[in-house]
């Protein structure tokens, strides 16, 4: 059976972005596939009683410095977007929609959104900017809007979020290898170990 890591993410999480920059390499090295699982982090917080780290000012300040250190270690750009934290509802619905309707283009969608959001620090809560970013990546803005309004797509995001919570998630990114759950981009080595077993 093919090894698999379930990757629950929300575009609004800079830690999930950092994990996204590293996980494909880790999965490939282990001969594993990534099961991309878009979820709504706000829904996870609400269901679990958790909150964003930035709600504690001192934690948010440290987190920014810490994330920058990880980005430097990984050798990837990290720029916190204007307007952070970003409302990602439409973007996450878009993720589910791409998986449902245009799975071959899902990867290009994720790359376009993450590169804009945390690679260049663009305010992806602004629909004009989203339209420009997706257009530049070859996506049709009107079709994207329609996709995010599709009831089946909306329900898919709710189902993913509910599943994440049911399996024990309380934040992003959350990764599962079988029943083993790892939280945070700083646990990718534990994911690698789990995939190696």
Active-site amino acid positions: 13
The nearest distance, CB 68 to a copy of itself, in angstroms, is: 11
Among 25, 35, 46, 59, binds a copy of itself (CB under 8 A): 59
Among 25, 35, 46, 69, binds a copy of itself (CB under 8 A): 69
Least CB distance from residue 58 to a copy of itself, whole Å? 4
Phi, psi of 35 (to 5 degrees): -95, 105
Q: Which is nearer to a copy of itself, 1 or 57 (CB)?
A: 57
Please identify which residue in 62, 82, 127, 146 interacts with a copy of itself, judged by CB under 8 A: 62
Select from 56-64, 117-125, 127-135, 142-150 the region that touches a copy of itself (CB under 8 A). 56-64
Write the secondary structure of the chain as one string of H (helix), E (strand) and C (coil). CCEEEEEEECCCCHHHHHHHHHHHHHHHHCCEEEEEEECCHHHHHHHHCCCCHHHCHHHHHHHHHHHHHHHHHHCCCCCCCCCCCCCCHHHHHHHHHHHHHCHHHHHHHHHHHHHHHHHCCCCCCCHHHHHHHHHHCCCCHHHHHHHHCCHHHHHHHHHHHHHHHHCCCCCCCEEEECCEEEECHHHHHHHHHHHHC
Query: From residue 177 to residue 196, what is the string marking binding to a copy of itself with x (rule CB under 8 A)?
Result: ----xxx--xx--x------
What is the C-alpha to C-alpha distance for residues 100 and 54, in angstroms, rounded to an integer? 33
Regarding 16 and contact with a copy of itself (CB under 8 A), the answer is no
Smallest separation (angstroms) from a copy of itself to the CB of 49:
5
Binding residue for a copy of itself, selected from 58, 104, 128, 151, defined by CB under 8 A: 58
- Whether residue 73 contacts residue 123, with contact meaning beta carbons closer than 8 Å, is answered with no
Give how many residues touch a copy of itself by CB under 8 A.
24
Residues at the site binding a copy of itself, with contacts judged by CB under 8 A: 48-50, 55-59, 61-62, 65-66, 69, 165, 168-171, 181-183, 186-187, 190
């Amino acid at each position: 059976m093919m090894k698999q890591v379930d990757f629950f993410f929300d575009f609004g999480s800079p830690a999930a972005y950092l994990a996204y920059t590293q996980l494909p390499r880790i999965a490939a090295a282990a001969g594993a596939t990534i099961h991309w699982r878009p979820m709504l982090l706000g829904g996870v917080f609400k269901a679990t009683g958790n909150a964003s780290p930035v709600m504690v000012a001192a934690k948010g300040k440290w987190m920014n410095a810490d994330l920058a250190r990880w980005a430097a270690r990984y050798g990837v750009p990290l720029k916190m977007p204007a307007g952070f934290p970003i409302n990602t509802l439409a973007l996450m619905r878009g993720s589910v929609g791409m998986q449902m309707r245009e799975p071959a283009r899902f990867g290009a969608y994720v790359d376009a959104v993450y590169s804009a959001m945390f690679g260049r620090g663009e305010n992806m809560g602004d629909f004009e900017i989203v339209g420009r970013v997706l257009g530049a990546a070859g996506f049709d803005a009107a079709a994207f809007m329609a996709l995010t309004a599709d009831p089946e797509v909306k329900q898919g995001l709710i189902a993913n979020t509910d599943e994440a919570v049911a399996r024990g998630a309380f934040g992003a990114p959350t990764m599962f290898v079988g029943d083993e759950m790892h939280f945070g981009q700083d646990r990718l080595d534990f994911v690698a170990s789990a995939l190696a077993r």
